[in-house]
Amino acid sequence: KQEVTQIPAALSVPEGENLVLNCSFTDSAIYNLQWFRQDPGKGLTSLLLIQSSQREQTSGRLNASLDKSSGRSTLYIAASQPGDSATYLCAVSNDMRFGAGTRLTVKP
């Protein structure tokens, strides 16, 4: 059974810092890994999808990497801004198992 873990559970940084969020999974037989953002009381916004054959994906200040063999993915956020404050979730497919998320706070 796939287990997805996200570390840290919460992170608080000053504005402008670069930061890394971690996601690990136990079963490397995945189709893809998806990173989402969830604002309080809102739905999920898809940030990046990394296919199983890819190593990384970039969108603006976001960069996500995937190492299937070690069961890890990282989400790198450059030059963080207060508007980045949200909960970040990773999910692995086949069966879309979610991690519990990392709650990020970027202080002005």
Partner 1 sequence: NAGVMQNPRHLVRRRGQEARLRCSPMKGHSHVYWYRQLPEEGLKFMVYLQKENIIDESGMPKERFSAEFPKEGPSILRIQQVVRGDSAAYFCASSRESGSPNNEQFFGPGTRLTVL
Residues lying near partner 1 in the complex (CB under 8 A) = 31-32, 34, 36, 41-46, 49, 51-53, 89, 91, 93-101
State the nearest-atom distance from the C-beta of 73 to partner 1, in Å: 14
In the bound state with partner 1, the residue whose beta carbon lies nearer, of 43 and 108, is: 43
Residue 7's CB is within 10 A of a number of other CB atoms, namely 12
CB of 18 to partner 1, least distance (A): 26
* Residue 88: C-alpha distances to residues 3, 10, 14, 36 (Å): 17, 10, 17, 6
Distance from chain centroid for Cα 97: 13
Least distance in angstroms from the C-beta of 52 to partner 1? 5
- DSSP E strands, 1-108: 4-7, 10-14, 19-25, 32-38, 44-51, 56-59, 62-67, 72-77, 86-93, 97-98, 102-107
Q: Which is nearer to partner 1, 66 or 106 (CB)?
A: 66
The smaller minimum CB distance to partner 1, of residues 14 and 41, is found at 41
* Closest distance to partner 1 from the beta carbon of 26 (Å): 16
